[in-house]
Amino acid sequence: MRKMKKILLAIVAFVLVLGLAACGGEETFTVNASDAAAKLRDGLVFQDELMEVSENNLSNLYGLSAEDVSEYKAYVSATMATAEEVAVFVAQDGKVDAVRQAVDARVQDQKENYQNYQPQEMTKLNSAIVRQKGNVVVLVVADDTETANTLVDEILK
């Protein structure tokens, strides 16, 4: 009887260890950057027309390269008269912190650029949405932050 209890305890312990090991793995989160950025672009009202950021301008605007992101889609003000912007980045493995820092730096640079040029844009920039989940980093600079947050929540769910 005692031997049976020990065997049963060993089996229960083994099952618990397996269960804990299965819970310990971090689930990878990703999105289709083009679809997510289009949802934001089309779901919000912008004062200016937005233009797509080319791969050549990825480094100029964000300081990022293909080594940093596996996928991205970004739109900025076509005339640069407004600070409006939508960007979705899927970072390469191990690069999400660098991507997040680059996005934060972009917002700070825009604040410095617009502070004297178009001071009314500071409201948008001061309430810029920068959110991250897994390897995905999202940036939205728009008037309607309530709708923007709702859309970002839907994208990152």
Query: What's the pLDDT at 25?
Result: 41
Instruction: Determine phi and psi for 92, rounding to 5 degrees.
Output: -65, 155
Region at 79 (left for phi over 0; alpha for psi -120 to 50; beta for the rest): alpha
Give residue 14's pLDDT band: very low, low, confident or very high (50, 70, 90).
Answer: very low
Copy the structure tokens of residue 49: 């027309």
Alpha helices in 25-155 (DSSP H): 33-43, 55-62, 96-117, 122-126, 145-155
Is the confidence at residue 24, as pLDDT, over 90? no
Domains of the chain, by residue range, sit at 30-155
- pTM for the full model? 0.83
Q: Indicate the range of 24-28, 55-59, 75-79, 103-107 predicted with least confidence.
A: 24-28
pLDDT digits (tens, 9 = 90+) for 89-136: 999 999 999 999 999 999 999 999 999 999 999 999 999 999 999 999
> Is the predicted pLDDT of residue 26 greater than 90, yes or no?
no
Query: b/e map of 39-50 (b: 16 or more CB within 10 Å)?
Result: bbbeebebeeeb
Percent residues over pLDDT 90 in the chain: 80
Say if residues 152 and 125 touch (Cβ distance below 8 Å). no
